[in-house]
Amino acid sequence: MSNNHQLSLLQPYPFEKLRAALADQVHGGDLAHIALSIGEPKHTPPSLVIDALSNPAALAKQLAIYPATRGSDALRDAISHWLEQRFNIAVDPENQILPVNGTREALFSFAQAQLSGDSSSLVGMPNPFYQIYEGAALLAGAQPYYIPNTVANNYQADFDSISAATWDAMELLYICSPGNPTGHLISDTQMRNLIELAHRHDFIIAADECYAEIYFSDQPRPSSLLASSNAMGNKDFQRCVVFHSLSKRSNLPGLRSGFVAGDANIIEQFLRYRTYHGCALGMHQQRASTLAWQDEAHVQKNRALYEQKFRTVTKILAPYYDIRQPAGGFYHWLPTPTDDIEFCQTLFTTQHITVMPGTFLGRQDQGLNPGRGHARIAWVAPLEECIEAAERLVDFAKS
């Protein structure tokens, strides 16, 4: 029995809800199961990382050390260099970068480190969303404030509709670009507006940019909150932090490696928290991560594979579904012709495909769950399996 009342506020994770929704559903045919519900990258991890992790002499040394929470100079230098190459910004590896055990852990612990604990404080977040933002706010004693990303607004958050009093109560705003699940980008203009609001109303912007490297060659490259901050003259990134990951960029979800970068004062506070939390990356993880951030060839190959998959499945699906090309990330956010949970259940029983109902990724707020009426399809499986799934989705639409 827990004495932590906030734990009882947490919702089941979307995958638990999906398991429950499918518990009594049985596929009646003999089709092999295809899982498109979870955004776990399936492309091959880069061999330079595998080689580094399989070097016994290096491992013996790395495993014999308590690693520093702030990470090695080599890793922070590699990250700083990557940020400079990718977003044309100068980020000081000494005090503006912190390695983390994947962005999930960091997005969660960031709220614990930064929020005041005042129960009237708000944490803004998109709706639908990556559920960690909500759990982070609740366990830190704050109130989630859901900002709808509706189809009517082309899946953009309507930040202009938020009142000055709400901004005043906000201590932290999570944004996600490219967005999971919608795949939309937050524009530079919107980023700049948000930074101005953050200064005016004194809150922090935490930008989840873990899908920034999955985009399409005929579309603009996703930018960064830090690039917008830099361009508007906020060159020390006051009130801005970004979260990046090797999980999607480098197909290394099992390495648990990412970083947080931005405002040095915020990073300092987060480092203090993390020192006590005890979540330093092992030296073997740090070495492997350094190599991954230094290499672009595997990232280009990975991106090309996603692009090929999206082009192929979109061509198959477009005549039958209201399919929209995302601006980034590896999800289709598909409007469903019927109730989304029922759609996913029937798709499972007839075609043996699992996708995620949008209802489970959103929150009912002010009479509306903006996730409802959508399904999230994660195109992470190998190309042949994705083609097979797309063809079954067509059969499903026809029937």
Ligand X SMILES: Cc1ncc(COP(=O)(O)O)c(C=O)c1O
- The residue ranges that bind ligand X (CB under 6 A) are 39, 102-104, 130, 176, 180, 208, 210, 245, 247, 253, 258
**Amino acid at the residue 95:** N
Asked if residues 262 and 96 have their Cβ atoms less than 8 Å apart, the reply is yes
Smallest separation (angstroms) from ligand X to the CB of 60: 27
Smallest separation (angstroms) from ligand X to the CB of 116: 24
Smallest separation (angstroms) from ligand X to the CB of 355: 15
Q: What is the CA radius of gyration of the chain?
A: 21
Smallest separation (angstroms) from ligand X to the CB of 100: 8
Q: Is 315 helix (H, G, I), strand (E, B) or coil?
A: helix
| Cβ proximity to ligand X, 89 vs 260, nearer residue | 260
| Cβ proximity to ligand X, 162 vs 176, nearer residue | 176
Smallest separation (angstroms) from ligand X to the CB of 210: 5
CA 15, CA 160: separation in Å to the nearest integer? 32
Q: Where are the beta strands (DSSP E) in the chain?
A: 34-35, 97-100, 122-127, 143-148, 170-176, 204-208, 240-245, 258-262, 331-335, 353-354, 356-357, 374-378
CA 113, CA 96: separation in Å to the nearest integer? 16
Smallest separation (angstroms) from ligand X to the CB of 353: 20
Closest CA to 200 of 227, 243, 256, 238: 238
Smallest separation (angstroms) from ligand X to the CB of 247: 3
| Intra-chain end-to-end CA distance of the chain, in Å | 49
Smallest separation (angstroms) from ligand X to the CB of 258: 5
Smallest separation (angstroms) from ligand X to the CB of 104: 3
| Cβ proximity to ligand X, 115 vs 255, nearer residue | 255
With 0-12 / 13-18 / 19 or more C-beta atoms within 10 angstroms meaning exposed / middle / buried, residue 278 is: exposed
Q: Which residue has the tokens 């990250």?
A: 79
In Å, what is the CA distance from 200 to each residue of 159, 190, 191, 234, 320? Answer: 15, 15, 14, 14, 47
| Cβ proximity to ligand X, 50 vs 90, nearer residue | 50
| Cβ proximity to ligand X, 234 vs 247, nearer residue | 247
Closest CA to 35 of 397, 376, 326: 376
| Cβ proximity to ligand X, 79 vs 176, nearer residue | 176
| Cβ proximity to ligand X, 27 vs 277, nearer residue | 277
C-beta atoms surrounding 61 within 10 Å: 12
Smallest separation (angstroms) from ligand X to the CB of 286: 15
CA 131, CA 361: separation in Å to the nearest integer? 7
| Cβ proximity to ligand X, 182 vs 336, nearer residue | 182
Asked if residues 288 and 257 have their Cβ atoms less than 8 Å apart, the reply is yes
CA 119, CA 14: separation in Å to the nearest integer? 26
| Cβ proximity to ligand X, 96 vs 289, nearer residue | 289
Beta-carbon contacts of residue 342 (< 8 Å; ≥ 6 apart): none
| Cβ proximity to ligand X, 135 vs 253, nearer residue | 253
